[in-house]
Amino acid sequence: MSIILTVSELTREIKQTLEDQFDQVSVQGEISNFKAHVSGHWYFSLKDANASISCAMWKGFNNYVFFTPQDGMKVIVNGKITVYPPKGNYQIDVRSMKPSGVGELQAAFEALKQKLSAEGLFDEEFKKPIPAFPRRIGIVTAIDGAAFKDMISVAKRRFPLVELVIAPTKVQGSGSAEMIVKSIELMNRQKDIDVMIVGRGGGSIEDLWAFNEEIVARAIFNSEIPVITGIGHEIDFTIADFVADLRAATPSAAMELATPDKEEFFAFITEFSYTSTQNLVELCSKMHKKISDLLSSYGFRMPLDLVRKNTQMLDNASHKLLQSIDRKMLQYNGRLSLLAKTIEGHDIKRSLKKGLVLVKQDSKYIPRAEKLDRKKSASLVFYDDQVNVEIK
């Protein structure tokens, strides 16, 4: 008689069998449906041409992965098979992950490069100018590496007046991309950094991979401070180099691009001192000749003639002005006399003195007989008196 099992019992048997038989497996496949949960855990599938299997990688383990997985990337995972009883699904409980080869990292590099380029993050119009004389230079790198010491040495040699502000950060391995981003953001909160160097020494593509992460590229692009990258050796190129405002071949070269050379300053001062002295001598000689020419000119030799000439011109102008005023006065006086005689000729007193009489009635002068009211009395105005009369 066969044994009847419950679903839970059967699932438990399968779980125990699978987990005992496959407690340590290495699987190669292509990532699909990758999802980084807010909890920090990763969920994805591994597939090949004929099959697919679910995978989960917990936060404590994925912290050690130096790259960000992407759909389509071929990887090798190590872990064990587990069964999730509520759904009866089996999956790989991933403990470690690495690219299946350098080609996969290169493919991810090219894909991200193409994506960011299409968004315009590499365009020259967004590149910020590098200041010629920085007062403070920010450095984002690991302080225990030779690259950091080389940068300090270059700064002391070239421009010892500059102040270096350090943001120590992890530049390799798991979590390094996030730390680089935090350091860049910290520099931007300082508000007094003139230029920033983001860099590290040489290494393999895996060692440099933090600078190929999208979050680092966007942090550099969004930085208000101009960024110079000096990552690896001269032949190494990262995504960060394409986004940066200026790319240097090495960390030391980055510091050289960020600082002016004190020796050039001294040479400039020496040259300026010599040149300016020569220029002053030539300028003084030129001005001396110009002044001598002016003093020996006719104007300076015969100043009294100029004064007399201008005085005579002033006298002539004054005389013409006075003559013009006199003519105008005569014209106005003649017109005034004519107007006075005209007014005098119309004076009523002179007419009355000649014997003329004015007739007034109701306080009004009567100019015509037809205007006279014969029923009223009237007043006769003589030169010497006024007489009231009755009209009959």
Q: Please tell me whether the overall predicted TM-score, pTM, comes out greater than 0.75 for this model.
A: no
Helix (H) or strand (E) run with residue 53 in it? strand 52-57
Write the burial class of residue 227 (CB in 10 Å: 0-12 exposed, 13-18 middle, 19+ buried). buried
- Tell which residue, 89, 70, 71, 69, has the closest CA to residue 81: 89
Helix residue ranges per DSSP H, 92-175: 102-119, 146-158
Pairing of strands 358-361, 246-248: unpaired
Per-residue tens of pLDDT for the chain, all 392 residues: 568 888 888 888 888 888 888 889 999 998 999 998 888 899 999 998 889 899 999 988 888 888 888 888 888 999 999 988 888 888 999 999 888 877 788 888 888 899 999 999 999 999 999 999 999 999 999 999 899 999 999 999 999 999 999 999 999 988 899 999 999 999 999 989 999 999 999 888 888 999 999 999 999 999 999 999 999 888 889 999 999 999 999 999 999 999 998 877 777 677 777 677 777 878 888 887 887 777 666 666 666 666 677 777 887 888 888 888 888 888 888 888 888 777 776 677 777 777 677 788 777 877 787 777 777 778 877 877 777 878 77
Q: Please choose, from the candidates 192, 142, 147, 133, the residue with its C-alpha nearest in 3D space to the C-alpha of residue 166.
A: 142
